[in-house]
Amino acid sequence: MTTIHITDIEAAINWWRERQPSSDGVDLGAEVNALAETYALMVHRRETDCAEESLGPESMQAWLRWYDSTPDAPCIAICTTSQGDEQCKGCGRSFDEVQHWPVMTPAEKRITWRRISTEATAWRFNRYAERAQDNQTMQAGN
């Protein structure tokens, strides 16, 4: 069973709220309303994940629209699985995740993204992120 983490539901809600803000602070857009119902049930039940199949069609469609706005693959074009590593030092995905990425569902991809983001051990999260931040700092100073 593939699950969707509550933080992804929350991110989707906030993405939709930014795009379709409430005119009166009370009314919710259809997408926010659909996702909010799922989110509220998860909070009430103290669940951190919900089964992908448990989302209604409106919730799933709203979640998939948000998903389409996120980066697809975590690849940074330094793939050490091609050199025999079981886990890529560049992006943090396992050999199987790299190989099967094109056929994984959006929820399966988000599970992988969550794991590699939480671990934050891959180069994408440290050496290269530090360089990017250093470059931004240098550019801001010019």
pLDDT along the chain (142 residues), means of 10: 94 95 85 94 96 94 96 90 90 94 96 94 75 58 60
What residues are paired with 94 via a beta bridge? 87
pLDDT number for residue 19: 93
Helices (H), 28-126: 30-44, 57-67, 95-100, 106-119
d(CA 141, CA 123): 26
DSSP helix/strand/coil, 15? helix
Contact between residue 87 and residue 37 where contact means Cβ atoms under 8 Å apart: no
- State the DSSP H helix or E strand holding residue 2, giving kind and residue range, or none if neither: none
Q: Using an 8 Å Cβ cutoff, are 93 and 116 in contact?
A: yes
Specify burial of residue 112 (Cβ count, 10 A radius: 0-12, 13-18, 19+). buried
Structure pTM?
0.80
* pLDDT for the residue numbered 134: 56
Task: Give the per-residue pLDDT at 31.
Answer: 94
pLDDT of amino acid 24: 85
CA nearest 115: which of 60, 74, 62, 65?
A: 74
What pLDDT score was predicted for residue 130? Answer: 58
Residue type, 55: L
**pLDDT attached to residue 118:** 93
